[in-house]
Chain A
Amino acid sequence: AQRVTQPEKLLSVFKGAPVELKCNYSYSGSPELFWYVQYSRQRLQLLLRHISRESIKGFTADLNKGETSFHLKKPFAQEEDSAMYYCALNTNAGKSTFGDGTTLTVKP
Chain B
Amino acid sequence: GAGVSQSPSNKVTEKGKDVELRCDPISGHTALYWYRQSLGQGLEFLIYFQGNSAPDKSGLPSDRFSAERTGGSVSTLTIQRTQQEDSAVYLCASSLSGGGFDEQFFGPGTRLTVL
A residues bordering B, Cβ < 8 Å?
A: 6, 32, 34, 36, 43-46, 49, 51, 86, 88, 90-101
> Does A46 lie within 8 Å of B103, measured CB to CB?
yes
Q: How far is the CA of A46 from the CA of B65 in the complex (A)?
A: 28
> Does B106 lie within 8 Å of A45, measured CB to CB?
yes
Chain A residues positioned under 8 Å from B104 (CB to CB): 36, 46, 96
Chain A residues positioned under 8 Å from B107 (CB to CB): 43
> Does A32 lie within 8 Å of B103, measured CB to CB?
no
A52: nearest residue on chain B (CB-CB)? B101
> Does A86 lie within 8 Å of B43, measured CB to CB?
yes
Considering residues B3, B103, B108, which has the most beta carbons from chain A within 10 angstroms of its beta carbon?
Answer: B103
How far apart are A54's CB and chain B's nearest CB, in angstroms?
Answer: 12
Residue B56 is within 8 A (CB to CB) of chain A in the complex: yes
> Does A49 lie within 8 Å of B42, measured CB to CB?
no
> Does B103 lie within 8 Å of A94, measured CB to CB?
no
A43-B107, A44-B91 given; A99·B100 CB < 8 A: no
